Amino acid sequence: MQVRTEHNRIKLSICMPTRNRASFIAETLENVISQSDERIEIVIVDGASTDNTEEVVKNFKRKFDNIVYYRGDENPGVDRDMARTIELARGEYCWMLSDDDLLAPGAIKRMLKEIESGYEIYLSNVIACSLSMKPLRKRFWLSSGIKDRVFDLHNNNELITYCNSANSIGALFSYMSSIVLCREVWNKNGYNYDFDGSAYALASTLLAFTKRECRLKYIRDSLVLWRNDNESFQNEGGLVKRFLLDFDGYLKLADKCLNNDQNVRNSFLKVMTREHPWYTIIHVTSFIDNSKVWSEFRAKMFKFGYNPKMVRFCYIIGRNRNLVALTVAIKRKIIKSHWVQKIIIFFFSKHKCA
């Protein structure tokens, strides 16, 4: 399919930073192109891949003209590559899509309809999938009972309500593929170099939106299929690193972006206790044997509002590493069992995008 479009016809840019994901990006591009027309462009910034990513992308450009591909001479990191995709984009809105995720059927059509309302940010839910993209479970960033709703995040009371409704830091912009942002507003705020290399530069700029008019449209439907078994934090040391990345990133976000109102700051940080509840704390503490590391880890948990008695309980249980490992293995086996997956797939098939 050959598509040629004028600059001002593009409504939505699919912005995709990538590096060495040739084995996944083809499926993502096929998925996006199958839903696209002349109002859509795909902007790919390649952080100096050493595999055949460039060849894969060029093959797809023959099918779909509205692909912008930029390959850097070095790897500046995902934060800068993400910002570069927005810089190169021409659409009124940018959908920040990971190079190994997929869009649900009808997702682009739905989003084109949504952005007609002209809000600053759109946030959809996701379906967590296995590495082979079999659906595992729905992820709701806000309480599951909350329907489509617009939040005025410039209003502190409304921002507190939003944070208190959040189940996950996904509601606080930790997961790029669920975010669609207004490019004009992004350009007014710009890239935050204070967060360069932190993995939270995108979140810091979106929080900067709240300093002026910032309406967020929460979309309860799951518009993204998240390949969440494809992370680089799967080993033992990686799990602790994953938690510390979240802890350090969100403490810095609170310090730099939300230090003018203590109530806003507290409600913002409290979301972490719902992102990582007691049973996940037990899991990660089972890998912490160093007393100094544990002391620092515990101090950070207290800053987020974790209950000290709960933290102590998790640490004691986590000392029984074999029991924790067995429990986690059983849970994963249940989630990934054939019959459980069939039930999940059947359920999702009844709830496709409108």
Domains of the chain, residue spans: 7-233, 236-343
Q: Where are the alpha helices (DSSP H) in the chain?
A: 22-33, 53-61, 78-88, 107-114, 156-165, 183-189, 201-208, 236-257, 262-275, 278-285, 291-304, 308-318, 321-335, 338-349
Q: Is 164 exposed, middle or buried (0-12, 13-18, 19+ CB in 10 A)?
A: middle
Q: Are 23 and 36 in contact (CB under 8 A)?
A: no
- HSE-CB at 225 with a 13 A cutoff on CA atoms is 23
Q: Are 11 and 92 in contact (CB under 8 A)?
A: yes
Three-state DSSP at 98 gives: coil
Q: Are 163 and 215 in contact (CB under 8 A)?
A: no
Q: Are 253 and 204 in contact (CB under 8 A)?
A: yes
Cα separation of 87 and 183, whole Å? 9
Sign of CA pseudo-dihedral 97, 98, 99, 101: negative
Cα separation of 90 and 337, whole Å? 44
- Per-residue pLDDT in tens (0 to 9) along the chain, 354 residues: 444 444 558 999 999 999 999 999 999 999 999 999 999 999 999 999 999 999 999 999 999 999 999 999 999 999 999 999 999 999 999 999 999 999 999 999 999 999 999 999 999 999 999 999 999 999 999 999 999 999 999 999 999 999 999 999 999 999 999 999 999 999 999 999 999 999 999 999 999 999 999 999 999 999 999 998 665 544 556 889 989 999 999 999 999 999 889 999 999 999 999 999 998 999 999 999 899 999 999 999 999 999 999 999 999 999 898 877 777 666 555 544 545 445 444 444 444 554
> What is the pLDDT at residue 238?
80
> What is the pLDDT at residue 70?
98
> What is the pLDDT at residue 115?
98
> What is the pLDDT at residue 324?
79
Cα separation of 220 and 145, whole Å? 9
Which CATH architecture describes the domain 7-233? Alpha-Beta Complex (3.90)
> What is the pLDDT at residue 331?
57
What residues contact 302, with CB distance under 8 A and at least 6 apart? 308, 311
Host H or E run for residue 137: strand 135-139
